[in-house]
Structure 1
Amino acid sequence: MALEAVARPGGRYIAVAVVAVPLLFVVGGLAIRYAAFASISAEPGFAAYAQALCRWDCAWYVDISEHGYERFPIPGQSNVGRWGFFPLYPMLVAAIRSVFPLPTILLASITSIACSYAACLVAWPLLEKNMRAYVLYCAFLLSGPFSFHFTTFLTEPLFVLLTSCVFLALKRSSYLTAGLLSALLSATRLVGVLVVFATVIQMFRDYRAKGGSALSFPRWVLGRPDLLVAILISPAGLFAYILFLYLTVGDGFAFLHVQRAFGRVAGNPLAFIWDGLSAVPTTGWLPTAPQWSALAALIGLALSAVLAVRRQYGAALFCACCIILPLITNLASMVRYVVGLAPLTILLTTLLSASKLTFLRLWVSSWAPAISRPSRGSGAILPWSSTPGPHRRAASLGRYTLAAVLAGAEIIILALALNPDVNADYRAYYIDRTTTCLNRDAVGSYTLGQTVSFRSDGAKKAAGMRVCGWSGPVADGTHSLGETSRLRLDIRPLRDGLTATLQMAAVIRPPQITQRVVISVNGVRVHAVTLSGKEPRTVSFVIPPAALAKAKTLDIAFDYLDGIPPSPAASNIYKRSIKLLSFRLDPVEPG
């Protein structure tokens, strides 16, 4: 791709420059980042540097590469599974590690740098072989202020590389190649599947350029089995992951449903942007993190509009969707989502590389109406207008068969995903969202008459009793999380009831100054209390024999009617209501 210039006079020197420029920025960027790391770290070495840069989602990808995906229930009594992180890049690193037995993060960092370097080479023809723009692009990707995202174990390096490859294939009207690359892209990140729209738009534009009409475009596509295969194979990576999750977890859409455990809730993108812009700094003038995220989203959408104005409709739609889709939930990771969109950075570096006069000319020409359009009566050769020979007829039949197999497989996988095979606890928490407390098999040991501290000093004993809906313990107790919390402990069969003594404190934030708590035992409501003030309060109540029956475990549920969310847009799984400080059970003496 980038080395095609070798064939032309003087092209050898251009090819050397194309290869050398990103290499220089690889070395320069690495030196800059390592110098910053070494200035504050007492542990030298590239391995320590790579580990220091492993932040945020990086740790998830390391775990996937080393351990794969969990089944359900998730080990460690967690409600956050790795299912939300797509598999292609961790699989690639795991495959390389099987050949080179190096630490995962070290190997992943080298692979990310290699992917980013390759992305620069692929960008050369996309930049119309503009050396000034190419230098800017390489500098941005490999040594710029956002180069961290492209040199550690995040999906951005592979995503940028594959995106660039897809658009290069579309530029050359290599639809099947674009489809295969799109399949890999859809297995890298969820939004990668959206690039299929860019493929269809490019098909439409090429067809119109040959004189075809808009109304006859569907018929043209149906008459081209190679185009059908290119379209249907584009989401193959996503569908393969859906099938994998269905077979291992029972829920093909687990990557979507697990977002609840990360606190992502659907909302108004405009409200999220406004909230981000409104998060002004309390001191100084530098924008806050929410402001940076909101500005990144606005700049990304503005650049997408510029792409549309320049008639790069497929790239514009792809980039806009890649920004709006995550923006529906919140602004988290928005900066890296935007800088990881290759069409936007290619556009930006192209504009920045132009002189003022050139930029004005490009801007005016982009708005100018087309001087001429292809005549609809130009006699374009349509696929059904000529009679194919026997070999072409056989090849066409084979492509139709492959398209039918792809379509059938995707329909079957979609049907499986729409009918998850999961237990009631999974469905209630992840799918139906009727509870904020994911029930698990945790059962703690307990001796009657023993007081268990739910502060930091009693962490080990209390850990076995906590089922869900708790955070901590910390110095002032174990905080409730969500709208329901549960404790479960093993008890010997009792004929009489029990007396429960709990020390609790309300979480208050004016105007909310009270917390109502309903306590149930083994599904039987046994007590209701209203807590007020910040000071701990001792709450005692009797658990009747009817609640105990012949149960071997005691399942205690705390339902909170006045939970306080940390912010108006926050998920209900983050609501705060009480702090539990201690717990005690005593047998009721026979009367």
Structure 2
Amino acid sequence: MTRFLEIRRMTAVVPVLRRFPMFSILGAYALSIAGLCIIARPFGGAPRALCRWDCFWYERIAAHGYDLHPILDGPQAGFADWAFFPVYPLLLRLVSDMTGMTGHASGMLISIVLLPVLALLSLCYVRRKGYVADHTVYWTILFMVFPTAIWYRFPYTETLYGVLLVGCAYATRAGYIGLACTLAAGLCATRPTGLVCVVAIGLFRMLCAWGPGMAGSARQVGVRVVEGAAIIAVGATGLAAFILYLDRLTGDGLAFSHIQYAWRHTAHLPTTWLWFGLTHKGLRVATVLDLLAFSVIPYGFYVGWYLESTILLLTFGLATSVGLFSVHRFIFANPFCLMLILTVIDRSSPIIRYTVLILGVWADYILLRNWFYGYDLLT
């Protein structure tokens, strides 16, 4: 009798879970984390296997601060960590100090915590725009396992940058200007492309005063213009603070830009770099990936996602003005790009949706193993 009552109680939980899709989302996410740990075991465990390439630079900054001068010997002679913006290393140091974890484990924890936050924030964002995701659980899970979301699993800035970007845009649309300004400052101090994103968000806040349905008094128009200008001005303080810090540390406030030459990043027109990549065999794969990423941007303008597509276009232009590598990462790992892709998939038939989900999980597995083996096209 007791066992029968226990079974009935367990059965009664099912409707509750259906009413709260968050349980389903977090359950699926927990399974994905468990799968990640299993896959990474032959590579020394997930924290160690996930830390590749730029991860070591972030951990170095978190542990020792920024360099006073470039590295003078060894395979990294001429390099310096000034190219990496400070918010992520600061967060990494904070998590490490609070938890006592190593840098590897702290970076993994940041990604684990921020990824579902980014997925749910993105779902709220598309609904705010008037697009209603018909399948909340499916949309959110696919957001976290889609192949272009692979960078959100790494101890890189992608997840933090995505949360700050979507949060800033969402807060601006909702009219929470103080919050938008705070997030904008963090965005500008997380990655060089943050400033162009903040400028775009601020300008769209100003221009929406003259948009359809936004007509109002001169005072209302003036308020929106001031709000947009405040977002840009306060956001720029994040970059300004880093410039002032580098100026006091090294005597060169733009050291983050000048040190790019060590990575062979030189300024040219984006079309020059793209043509160079297409005509040189060793760069064709990276160039094709960059152009594939770019193909999402015209679709965004076509469906009316003007702010989001403008941010993607500015990011693409800025990234391709100094080289070809990592450009596809900057676009595909941008949450606005992933939102545009998922809005198409979510409206498809059930067969297509679940086929994409299965293929996404399989691709996620393959890409993770390639990352563990040091596959550099993911950087």
TM-score norm. by structure 1 comes to 0.51
2:33 match: 30
The answer on 1:145 being equivalent to 2:147 is yes
2:51 is matched with which residue: 27, 50, 54?
54
The 5 A counterparts of 1:111-510 are: 111-128=110-127, 129-132=132-135, 135-141=138-144, 143-196=145-198, 197-208=200-211, 209-211=213-215, 220-221=221-222, 225-277=226-278, 290-355=283-348
Instruction: Give the letter for the 1:64 counterpart.
Output: I
In the alignment, the residues of structure 2 paired with residue 224 and residue 271 of structure 1 have an alpha-carbon distance, to the nearest angstrom, of 37
Q: In the superposition, relative to structure 1, how do residues 224 and 148 fare at CA in structure 2: closer, same or farther (>3 Å)?
A: closer
Q: In the superposition, relative to structure 1, how do residues 292 and 163 fare at CA in structure 2: closer, same or farther (>3 Å)?
A: farther
In the alignment, the residues of structure 1 paired with residue 322 and residue 225 of structure 2 have an alpha-carbon distance, to the nearest angstrom, of 39
In the alignment, the residues of structure 2 paired with residue 235 and residue 134 of structure 1 have an alpha-carbon distance, to the nearest angstrom, of 37
Map Cα deviations across residues 48-67 of structure 1 (whole Å, 9 max, x no partner): 32112211111111111111
Q: In the superposition, relative to structure 1, how do residues 52 and 225 fare at CA in structure 2: closer, same or farther (>3 Å)?
A: same
In the alignment, the residues of structure 2 paired with residue 134 and residue 149 of structure 1 have an alpha-carbon distance, to the nearest angstrom, of 21
8 Å contact kept, 1:159–1:340: no
Map Cα deviations across residues 408-456 of structure 1 (whole Å, 9 max, x no partner): xxxxxxxxxxxxxxxxxxxxxxxxxxxxxxxxxxxxxxxxxxxxxxxxx
Report the structure, 1 or 2, having the larger strand content: 1
8 Å contact kept, 1:176–1:227: no
Q: CA deviation at 1:244?
A: 0.6
2:88 match: 89
Q: In the superposition, relative to structure 1, how do residues 150 and 224 fare at CA in structure 2: closer, same or farther (>3 Å)?
A: closer
In the alignment, the residues of structure 1 paired with residue 276 and residue 31 of structure 2 have an alpha-carbon distance, to the nearest angstrom, of 38
Superposed CA RMSD in Å reads: 2.9
Map Cα deviations across residues 484-506 of structure 1 (whole Å, 9 max, x no partner): xxxxxxxxxxxxxxxxxxxxxxx
Q: In the superposition, relative to structure 1, how do residues 133 and 341 fare at CA in structure 2: closer, same or farther (>3 Å)?
A: farther
**Secondary structure of the residue that 2:295 maps to in structure 1?**
helix
**Secondary structure of the residue that 1:190 maps to in structure 2?**
coil
Percentage of pairs with the same residue = 23
The answer on 1:17 being equivalent to 2:25 is no
Map Cα deviations across residues 140-192 of structure 1 (whole Å, 9 max, x no partner): 43x33344421222000101111111121133133332222111111110101
2:368 match: none
Instruction: Give the letter for the 1:135 counterpart.
Output: Y
Q: CA deviation at 1:110?
A: 0.9
In the alignment, the residues of structure 1 paired with residue 133 and residue 70 of structure 2 have an alpha-carbon distance, to the nearest angstrom, of 53
Gaps of 5+ in 2: 1-15, 350-379
2:355 match: none
8 Å contact kept, 1:300–1:320: no
Instruction: Give the letter for the 1:248 counterpart.
Output: L
Where relative contact order (Cα < 8 A, 6+ residues apart) is larger, the structure is: 2
Larger Cα-atom Rg = 1
In the alignment, the residues of structure 2 paired with residue 19 and residue 341 of structure 1 have an alpha-carbon distance, to the nearest angstrom, of 26
Q: In the superposition, relative to structure 1, how do residues 19 and 171 fare at CA in structure 2: closer, same or farther (>3 Å)?
A: farther
Q: CA deviation at 1:279?
A: 5.7
8 Å contact kept, 1:222–1:228: no
**Secondary structure of the residue that 2:167 maps to in structure 1?**
helix
In the alignment, the residues of structure 2 paired with residue 140 and residue 272 of structure 1 have an alpha-carbon distance, to the nearest angstrom, of 31
Count of residues in Structure 1 that have an aligned counterpart in Structure 2: 327
Gaps of 5+ in 1: 1-11, 281-287, 357-591
Instruction: Give the letter for the 1:194 counterpart.
Output: V
Range 125-134 or range 197-206, more displaced:
125-134
8 Å contact kept, 2:21–2:136: no
Q: In the superposition, relative to structure 1, how do residues 304 and 25 fare at CA in structure 2: closer, same or farther (>3 Å)?
A: farther
**Secondary structure of the residue that 1:188 maps to in structure 2?**
coil
In the alignment, the residues of structure 2 paired with residue 277 and residue 151 of structure 1 have an alpha-carbon distance, to the nearest angstrom, of 30
